[in-house]
Amino acid sequence: MSDFQIAITSLAGLASLLRRSLSYVSCVFLFPSAILTLSLTKFFASMNRKTDFLVVGSGIGGLSFALKVADYGKVILITKSALDDTNTAYAQGGIAAVTYSPDNTEKHVNDTLICGAGLCNEEVVRMVVTEAPEQIKELIRWGAKFDRNPDGQYDLAKEGGHSEHRILHHKDNTGAEIERALIRQVKANKNIEILENFFALELLTQHPLG
């Protein structure tokens, strides 16, 4: 279990911590000067936290990682603003994955390499494309809802660079829908603690990196 300290970098962050320490200042109106010193001592002492996993960021990467490791220990997830104020939530397009025939993995890989104009690492492209369908299924299991046709199949779009219909979407706010589903799961998980309006200044590790 690792230790970390929380740095307050905004009034919002201070307000968030104060809300968590209301139990320390319940009698502030009776003894304002005496209780203030005591509450601040306890308040700053409570900033030293222990956790098994510290996740910085609340986009699709941070939220999905938090959900996956929550089965193995305590998770603290911090985000510099509101939980849903992320690049993921502002993404309007769709998410590409092989879903139905005649599409297949090789077509998707080939389309990506052509669009990459020689700049793509084929090994990475192949890994991402191959794993994409299962990752989409996981998002769906977590509650993300993608648009469907009247017959029940997913309404796949065909965008530039793609030779087949393979873009799953939720209206024109796909990112917001994915963020909504993940946030709901994270908030329901008892092993995940969320700290909003906190900013990571530096990470201190016990072992050298590199």
Q: What is the pLDDT of residues 139-168, one digit of tens each?
A: 999 999 999 999 999 999 999 999 999 999
| Mean pLDDT score across all residues of the chain | 84
For residue 127, tell me if it sits in a domain.
yes
Per-residue model confidence (pLDDT) at position 48: 75
Residues 56 and 117 in one domain: no
Residues 98 and 148 in one domain: yes
Q: pTM, whole model, 2 decimals?
A: 0.77
Residues 112 and 78 in one domain: no
For residue 159, tell me if it sits in a domain.
yes
Residues 98 and 168 in one domain: yes
Residues 67 and 104 in one domain: no
Task: Report the amino acid identity of residue 164.
Answer: E
For residue 208, tell me if it sits in a domain.
no
Q: How far apart are CA 47 and CA 17, in angstroms?
A: 9
For residue 201, tell me if it sits in a domain.
no
Residues 136 and 67 in one domain: no
For residue 120, tell me if it sits in a domain.
yes
Q: Is the pLDDT at 23 greater than 50, yes or no?
A: no
Residues 30 and 65 in one domain: yes
Residues 53 and 116 in one domain: no
Say how many domains are in the chain.
2
Per-residue model confidence (pLDDT) at position 148: 98
Q: How far apart are CA 11 and CA 24, in angstroms?
A: 19
Question: Confidence band (pLDDT; 50, 70, 90) for 2?
Answer: low
Locate the DSSP E strands across the chain.
Answer: 2-5, 48-51, 53-56, 75-79, 95-96, 167-168, 192-196
Range of the domain at 159: 93-172
Residues 97 and 69 in one domain: no
Q: State mean pLDDT over 5-34.
A: 45
Q: Are 68 and 181 in contact (CB under 8 A)?
A: no
Per-residue model confidence (pLDDT) at position 35: 45
pLDDT tens track for 32-88:
444 444 454 555 555 677 899 999 999 999 999 999 999 999 999 999 999 999 999
Phi, psi of 208 (to 5 degrees): -65, 145
Per-residue model confidence (pLDDT) at position 167: 97
For residue 202, tell me if it sits in a domain.
no
Per-residue model confidence (pLDDT) at position 26: 36
Q: State mean pLDDT over 10-31.
A: 44
Question: Confidence band (pLDDT; 50, 70, 90) for 199?
Answer: confident
Q: State mean pLDDT over 187-209.
A: 85
Q: Is the pLDDT at 113 greater than 80, yes or no?
A: yes
Residues 106 and 135 in one domain: yes
Q: Is the pLDDT at 30 greater than 50, yes or no?
A: no
For residue 153, tell me if it sits in a domain.
yes
Residues 45 and 105 in one domain: no
For residue 160, tell me if it sits in a domain.
yes
Residues 99 and 162 in one domain: yes
